[in-house]
């Protein structure tokens, strides 16, 4: 039975991972549940799965949980999270904290010898070289949880990257695919995703296509693909999650209903196809599939993110932090929708120089978020 730790257990991905584990209880066992600030949700999960250890960022709430669950060792704060992971004895860690907050716990899990089921985009975007180097050093695998990267992993199985002509990441186009006037977009409208049920910030990223810029940078690091071999295509049906064209002209695609449980199950199983993943597709469902190139005018954040990825260094970390700050400001009603990209672009004009060390990456993340906040407050 595989032992699993979940970082971000109370979020969307964490809940989906627990749903997968619940459905495959003879294969997987939860040995650590780590949450952010939702103590009530974590308490319910601890009561159901009874892990030997758990952690919560909020130290006061963690102490209250410890009184309620004497059979589970509860850790609190960032230091507690770092202590919880080695105490879990887990073999694989689902990394699903949002933003740069997922980076240090992911590295800690690697240091404990855990394979990483990676759902946190920013970890590879901001610190791809560091994370890959750590994975090689510790002899652990990085198993993608994003549906697009899971699809590419399946399409590339057993194939050499030198035989790849291009890899294709698909995008639904988000809530505004058919809109022409984006100046009056509201957060409520942006959160009305046509095919996926996700957290609020990632849903905004789906609308702006910032998520596809992040996913392209991820794919570059995950599969050692040069940027000029990675393409993004709009596919509103969200049935084809990724595809690979090989140098002989063969095009291999992965198709499935849009349900995060399948890529999570793929990651937890190490790529094994297990029964009872998600409902199967029918021929009727795939009778009308459409694809189109993204509109550069409608999705400026895609261009900005890809430019940051190609620039390398600290630029991807700056893009990620600025995008998060601007997306959250839009959700809070502080800026209009077009100002998300405008704020990120201004921030990218101030990318600091320096080597992409862990210290510099974390510093650049903080500086970019602060600069973006200042720009928003001035606007």
Domains and CATH numbers, the chain: 2-144 (3.40.50.720), 148-173+209-286 (3.30.2320), 300-378 (1.10.1740.10)
What pLDDT is stored for residue 194 in this prediction?
65
What pLDDT is stored for residue 197 in this prediction?
63
Among residues 324, 333, 280, 267, the alpha carbon closest in space to that of 301 is found at: 324
pLDDT tens for each residue of the chain, 379 residues long: 999 999 999 999 999 999 999 999 999 999 999 998 899 999 999 999 999 999 999 999 999 999 999 999 999 999 999 999 999 999 999 999 988 999 999 999 999 999 999 999 999 999 999 999 999 999 999 999 999 999 999 999 989 999 999 999 999 887 777 777 777 788 888 777 666 666 788 888 988 999 999 999 999 999 999 999 999 999 999 999 999 999 999 999 999 988 999 999 999 999 888 887 788 888 777 888 999 999 988 999 999 999 999 999 999 999 999 999 999 999 999 999 999 999 999 999 999 989 999 999 999 999 999 999 898 888 7
What pLDDT is stored for residue 70 in this prediction?
93
Mean pLDDT of the chain: 93
Whether 7 contacts 30, CB under 8 Å: no
Tell me the C-alpha distance between 304 and 344, whole Å: 8
CA 269 to chain centroid, in Å, comes to: 18
Q: Phi first, then psi: what are they for 285, rounded to 5°?
A: -70, -25
Tell me the C-alpha distance between 55 and 60, whole Å: 11
Q: Kindly give the interhelix angle for 338-348 and 200-208, rounded to the nearest 10 degrees.
A: 90
What pLDDT is stored for residue 176 in this prediction?
78
What is the pTM (predicted TM-score) of this model? Answer: 0.94
Q: Phi first, then psi: what are they for 281, rounded to 5°?
A: -75, 150
Tell me the C-alpha distance between 82 and 199, whole Å: 25
What pLDDT is stored for residue 285 in this prediction?
72
Say how many residues make up the chain: 379
């Amino acid at each position: 039975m595989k032992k699993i730790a979940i970082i971000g257990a109370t979020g969307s991905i964490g809940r989906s991972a627990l749903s997968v584990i619940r459905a495959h209880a003879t294969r997987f066992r939860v040995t650590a549940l780590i949450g952010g600030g939702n103590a009530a949700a974590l308490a319910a999960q601890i009561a159901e799965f009874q892990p030997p250890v758990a952690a919560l960022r909020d130290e006061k709430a963690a102490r209250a949980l410890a009184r309620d669950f004497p059979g589970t060792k509860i850790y609190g704060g960032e230091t507690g999270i770092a202590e919880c992971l080695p105490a879990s004895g887990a073999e694989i860690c689902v990394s699903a904290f949002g933003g740069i907050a997922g980076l240090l716990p992911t590295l800690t899990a690697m240091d404990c010898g855990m394979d990483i089921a990676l759902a946190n985009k920013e970890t590879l975007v901001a610190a791809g070289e560091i994370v890959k180097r750590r994975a090689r050093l510790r002899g652990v695998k990085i198993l993608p949880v994003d549906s697009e990267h899971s699809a590419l992993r399946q399409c590339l199985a057993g194939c050499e990257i030198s035989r790849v002509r291009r890899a294709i990441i698909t995008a639904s186009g988000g809530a505004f695919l058919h809109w022409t006037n984006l100046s009056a977009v509201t957060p409520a409208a942006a959160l009305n995703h046509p095919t996926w049920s996700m957290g609020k910030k990632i849903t905004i990223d789906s609308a702006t296509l910032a998520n596809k810029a992040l996913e392209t940078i991820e794919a570059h690091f995950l599969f050692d693909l040069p940027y000029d071999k990675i393409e993004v295509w709009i596919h509103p049906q969200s049935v084809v999650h990724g595809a690979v064209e090989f140098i002989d002209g063969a095009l291999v695609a992965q198709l499935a209903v849009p349900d995060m449980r399948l890529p999570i199950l793929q990651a937890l199983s190490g790529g094994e196809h297990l029964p009872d993943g998600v409902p199967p597709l029918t021929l009727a469902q795939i009778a009308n599939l459409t694809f189109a190139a993204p509109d550069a005018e409608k999705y400026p954040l895609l261009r900005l993110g890809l430019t940051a990825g190609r620039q390398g260094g600290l630029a991807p970390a700056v893009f990620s932090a600025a995008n998060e700050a601007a997306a959250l400001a839009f959700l809070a009603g502080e800026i209009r929708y077009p100002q998300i990209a405008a704020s990120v672009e201004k921030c990218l004009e101030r990318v600091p120089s320096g080597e992409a060390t862990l210290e510099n990456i974390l510093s650049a993340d903080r500086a970019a978020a602060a600069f973006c906040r200042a720009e928003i407050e001035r606007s």
